[in-house]
Amino acid sequence: MTATSRFEITERSKVKRLPERGHYDRALAYEILDQALICHVAISTAEGPLVLPMAYARMDDQLVLHGATASRLLQLTGTGQPISLCVTLLDGLVLARSVFHHSMNYRSVVVFGHARLIDDDREKARALDCLVEHLAPGQTGYARAPTAKELNATCVLAVPVTEVSVKRREGPPKDSKADYELDIWAGVVPLQTVTGKPEPDPLVRADTPLPEHIGRY
Amino acid sequence: MTATSRFEITERSKVKRLPERGHYDRALAYEILDQALICHVAISTAEGPLVLPMAYARMDDQLVLHGATASRLLQLTGTGQPISLCVTLLDGLVLARSVFHHSMNYRSVVVFGHARLIDDDREKARALDCLVEHLAPGQTGYARAPTAKELNATCVLAVPVTEVSVKRREGPPKDSKADYELDIWAGVVPLQTVTGKPEPDPLVRADTPLPEHIGRY
């Protein structure tokens, strides 16, 4: 199956508010999905919607999620309930001349769909590798690999990246015309997620060096 | 109304997976809500759940959300549909000796409830001040205040912070006992959101200085 380079726009994936911020381009969606670290997953329950943060990774044209086999969210979604996932990168505070035009620069991807439980062992192992490599590149070849028992205790779901909205705001504030005359500073304060100095587990063996790949994070 | 210092645990707010990570303490929830910049809001629609990123702020014991009066999400939630909001701070990558015990340090707050449309003008103006001050402290006293027309174009919702789960993971990885003998580095790579150097709008007046409060972000 070859994925299309543009997503088909559906009633629910169509960006209705500020449509100029809406995009349906697969390459842009993948750039955002590959850069962000966590997603927020929503499901509908009898008592109302539930939203939770989760690790995720892109595996080809799917997003994969994992959790304990006993997890409520994964049990619910694995039965084919509709699901919605959102990944958001916050790029800046947009400070306008007017309070009204304050905004944020961001890039977000919303995926609508159904989750499929991955039960094939090889596919599951590959999905777990994707999850670890997404957050901690190089660790699948370095840390101890999962045992059969550990794999059984883990539940992995796949959601196709098919019905998707991408939203992006970038650049300086857009003020009302008359406000450009005001003696008020306006601009963007960039935001970024950064890594700090690795903190060794106090129980790590004294002769174990920090591997080069972790030093590069 | 005096808010309780601990949230009452309900069936849906009870942390079921890894209950040792669950907290129901109002002060901890407020610390997280006041530090994070955006939330993810979920609602249920006829086609399934919808999750979107939104700005928010805490106003006393409520969270306030805003958007254009025409916004689909706000129209739906303003009619009293159940809503779920999640705020997540990512604090670190937890690198274990085994792939299986890789994790993340994080703090998250999930709020369940119903949104109320704020129609009182003074309450609405205060909620909008909270929203701006949450993201850009000092801007309400600096940028041009909203006009009546701008206030009318904005819809503000309040969600009580009453039914709440807080989850937190902190500290080093927890590996299986035998793995502590392995010659594999383990520890935490801290993550943090930082601000960069303010970037002036190219159209800002040349004689307008960067205000001190923005320089402090």
Q: Do A38 and B90 touch (CB under 8 A)?
A: yes
Q: Do A217 and B93 touch (CB under 8 A)?
A: yes
B113 forms beta bridges with B83
Distance from CA of A155 to the nearest CA of B (A): 12
Q: Do A185 and B214 touch (CB under 8 A)?
A: yes
Taking one residue from A and the other from B, the number of pairs with CB-CB distance under 8 angstroms is 304
Count of C-beta atoms within a 10 Å radius of residue B111 = 27
| Distances in whole angstroms, Cα of residue B29 to Cα of each of A6, B25, B191 | 40, 6, 20
Using 50, 70 and 90 to split pLDDT, how confident is the model at B12?
confident
Residue B145 has what DSSP assignment? P
d(CA A158, CA A113): 10
Number of helices (H) and strands (E) in chain B: give both, helices first.
Answer: 5, 12
Section B191-197 average pLDDT = 97
3-class SS at A211?
A: coil
Partner-chain residue, chosen from B48, B81, B185, that has the shortest CB–CB distance to A84: B48
- Collect all residues of chain B within an 8 Å Cβ-Cβ radius of residue A37: 90, 104, 191
- Collect all residues of chain A within an 8 Å Cβ-Cβ radius of residue B50: 12, 42, 84, 110, 112
From the list A41, A44, A73, the residue with the least C-alpha distance to A56 is A41
Helix ranges (H only) for chain B are 26-35, 72-78, 121-135, 148-152, 212-215
Longest dimension (CA), chain B: 68
Nearest CA in chain A to B11: A47
Distance from CA of A32 to the nearest CA of B (A): 14
From the list A20, A169, A180, the residue with the least C-alpha distance to B202 is A180
- Stated pTM of the model: 0.94
- Collect all residues of chain A within an 8 Å Cβ-Cβ radius of residue B57: none
Distance from CA of A134 to the nearest CA of B (A): 11
Partner-chain residue, chosen from A136, A173, A194, that has the shortest CB–CB distance to B194: A194
Q: What is the pLDDT along chain A (217 residues), one digit of tens a residue?
A: 457 899 999 988 888 878 888 888 999 999 999 999 999 999 998 889 999 999 999 999 999 999 876 666 666 676 778 999 999 999 999 999 999 999 999 999 999 999 999 999 999 999 999 999 999 999 999 999 999 999 998 999 999 999 999 999 999 999 999 999 999 999 999 999 999 999 999 999 989 999 999 999 9
pLDDT one-digit tens code per residue, B159-174: 999 999 999 999 999 9
- Collect all residues of chain A within an 8 Å Cβ-Cβ radius of residue B127: none
Residue with tokens 């009318």: B152
pLDDT given for residue B209 in this prediction: 96
Indicate left, alpha or beta for B108 from its phi (over 0: left) and psi (-120 to 50: alpha).
Answer: beta
Torsion of CA B111, B117, B122, B127, to 10 degrees: 30
* Average pLDDT of the residues of chain B: 93
pLDDT given for residue A150 in this prediction: 93
- Collect all residues of chain B within an 8 Å Cβ-Cβ radius of residue A15: none
d(CA B63, CA B163): 12
Phi and psi dihedrals of B55, rounded to 5? Answer: -70, 155
Q: Do A197 and B180 touch (CB under 8 A)?
A: no
pLDDT given for residue A92 in this prediction: 98
Nearest CA in chain A to B181: A205
Beta-carbon contacts of B37 under 8 Å, excluding residues fewer than 6 positions away, are A90, A104, A191, B55, B134, B135, B193
Partner-chain residue, chosen from B81, B205, B214, that has the shortest CB–CB distance to A95: B214
Q: Do B51 and A45 touch (CB under 8 A)?
A: no
pLDDT given for residue B3 in this prediction: 77
Burial of B120 (0-12, 13-18, 19+ CB in 10 A): exposed
Nearest CA in chain A to B41: A51
Partner-chain residue, chosen from B68, B112, B194, that has the shortest CB–CB distance to A48: B112
Burial of B3 (0-12, 13-18, 19+ CB in 10 A): middle
Percent of chain B clearing pLDDT 70 (strictly above)? 94
Distance of alpha carbon B171 from its chain centroid, rounded?
Answer: 22
| Distances in whole angstroms, Cα of residue B109 to Cα of each of A30, A74, A213, B21 | 27, 19, 32, 12
Tokens of A28: 């842009």
Q: Do A154 and B190 touch (CB under 8 A)?
A: no
Residue to test with chain B: of A56, A89, A93, A99, most B Cβ within 10 A: A99
pLDDT given for residue A70 in this prediction: 62
Q: Do B17 and A68 touch (CB under 8 A)?
A: yes
CB contact at 8 A, B92 and B104: yes
pLDDT given for residue B72 in this prediction: 66
Using 50, 70 and 90 to split pLDDT, how confident is the model at B76?
low
Using 50, 70 and 90 to split pLDDT, how confident is the model at B22?
confident
Q: Do A214 and B43 touch (CB under 8 A)?
A: no
pLDDT given for residue B78 in this prediction: 67
pLDDT given for residue B70 in this prediction: 62
Q: Do B186 and A197 touch (CB under 8 A)?
A: no
| pLDDT: which is higher, B91 or A78 | B91
Nearest CA in chain B to A36: B90
How large is the ipTM? Answer: 0.94
